[in-house]
Amino acid sequence: MKWGVVTFPGSNDDRDTAHVLRNVLGQETVPLWHKSADLEGVDCVVLPGGFSYGDYLRCGAIARFSPIMGAIARHAASGGLVLGICNGFQVLCEAGLLPGALVRNRDLRFVCRDVTLRVESISNPFTNLAFAGDVWRIPVKHGEGCYVADPATLDEMEREARILVRYCRPDGSRVRDDGAGRSDYNPNGSARDVAGVMNAGRNVFGLMPHPEHAADPAILGAEGARRSADGMRIFQSIAHWVDQRREQASAGSMR
Amino acid sequence: MIARVVIMPKRGVLDPQGKAICSSLHAMGYGEVDDVRMGKFLELRFGDGAGGEERAARVKAMCERLLANGVIEDFRFELVEDGAPAGGRTDTPR
């Protein structure tokens, strides 16, 4: 499959993401400039982390009017895959491709640390190689990662299994599960511990944690090191899903 | 002509900046403050003096499409003549 990674002015994880897709996952990856309206036939567009347009006005608010966003909206409308990481998630919410919004962290701090995430749902293009209940360790680094949406939207996403990952304790538990303890595992005050959500069309996914920073074995360190490669599961799931679709399509055409 | 736009976090949306400012005021002895919410104030300047419904409709569209995010923010605006004094009290000499 073919990946595209968008660069806005102020994006800073575009190269890390392209490196992981190209050299760790081993797949064709092209850079996409924000002023271009041509997605070059990619199967999945990745909106990377960073501070597009300096986070002016609101995070992602200016980037969503870049020429490439029109092409991405059309790509998404025709079923193409879109993954937004951190600032990319903020851009997708601002563009209305995902519900809700991301506001200033509850504790007013820029949070830069590993978090643990629980995989909530696996019947989708983005987490299909995980098991429901898997706990991943992936870093976050953001000042505006507190997800908000009205209760009806959150209920609907829960019913439709569109909250794909939530912040949790290292053992996978959450306050809501047992009603006990503090929610200090939630790094930003996100509603219902949401870390990442998918659209109703089930082809656009945004999350605050950075899978590309938990992927390259070269930076995982020696045996016993703390780093994790759990982020690879997301990229592998997408690749697996695209390959499966392609096989199904070619099997269908041979019939 | 100037459009003065005020953007505020919606009721019920977490406003941690407002909360932090409120605690700071309390720590300084201003215990009478019950709550602080922090928003944004923008001035849009127009070269012509045209006001009226059409201008207002366009400013409203600007707010809805870019300046405010309807999921988390409310906005209001007024159209005033360039150089008109801002309402309210200030110690800054004009």
Query: pLDDT for A127-156, tens place per residue?
Result: 999 999 999 999 999 999 999 999 999 999
Beta strands A2-7; A28-33: pairing state: parallel
- pLDDT at res. B33: 97
**A108:B66 CB<8 A:** no
**A146:B66 CB<8 A:** no
> What is the average pLDDT across A234-240?
98
Please, what is the average pLDDT of chain A?
93
Q: In what order do the strands lie in the sheet with A163-168?
A: A28-33, A2-7, A44-47, A81-85, A204-207, A194-198, A163-168, A111-119, A135-142
- pLDDT at res. B91: 60
Per-residue confidence band for A177, with pLDDT thresholds at 50, 70 and 90: low
What are the residue ranges spanned by the domains of chain A? 2-254
Using the predicted structure, report yes or no on whether residue A18 has a pLDDT greater than 80: yes
Residues of chain B above pLDDT 90, percent: 69
**B14:A103 CB<8 A:** yes
Q: Hey, is the C-beta of B20 within 8 angstroms of any chain A C-beta?
A: yes
Lowest mean per-residue pLDDT among A20-34, A226-240, B15-29, B72-86: B72-86
CA-closest candidate to residue A21, choices A217, A230, A215, A198: A215
Chain B hits for A146, Cβ within 8 Å: 14, 16
Give the span between the Cα atoms of B88 and B91, in whole angstroms.
10
What are the residue ranges spanned by the domains of chain B? 2-80
- pLDDT at res. A253: 76
Give the span between the Cα atoms of B79 and A150, in whole angstroms.
32
- pLDDT at res. A222: 57
Using the predicted structure, report yes or no on whether residue A178 has a pLDDT greater than 50: yes
Q: Hey, is the C-beta of B11 within 8 angstroms of any chain A C-beta?
A: no
- pLDDT at res. A44: 98
What phi-psi label fits residue B54: left (phi over 0), alpha (psi between -120 and 50 degrees) or beta? alpha
A86 is catalytic: yes
Fold of B2-80: Mth169; Chain: A , (3.30.1280)
| ipTM given for this complex | 0.82
**B71:A65 CB<8 A:** no
Instruction: Select which of A59, A86, A93, A168 is catalytic.
Output: A86
Per-residue confidence band for A183, with pLDDT thresholds at 50, 70 and 90: confident
Give the span between the Cα atoms of A165 and A193, in whole angstroms.
9
Using the predicted structure, report yes or no on whether residue B90 has a pLDDT greater than 60: no
pLDDT in tens, A42-66: 999 999 999 999 999 999 999 999 9
- pLDDT at res. B94: 45
pLDDT in tens, B48-75: 877 789 999 999 999 999 999 999 999 9
Nearest to B72 among A108, A148, A189 (CB): A148
A247 is catalytic: no
- pLDDT at res. A108: 85
| CATH 2.60.40.10 corresponds to the domain A2-254 | no
Chain B hits for A149, Cβ within 8 Å: 71
- pLDDT at res. A226: 62
**A57:B66 CB<8 A:** yes
> What is the average pLDDT across A4-8?
97
CA-closest candidate to residue A174, choices A126, A119, A123, A214: A119
> Which helix (H) or strand (E) segment is B53 a member of?
helix B52-62
Q: Hey, is the C-beta of B61 within 8 angstroms of any chain A C-beta?
A: no
Name the token pair of A185: 């595992």
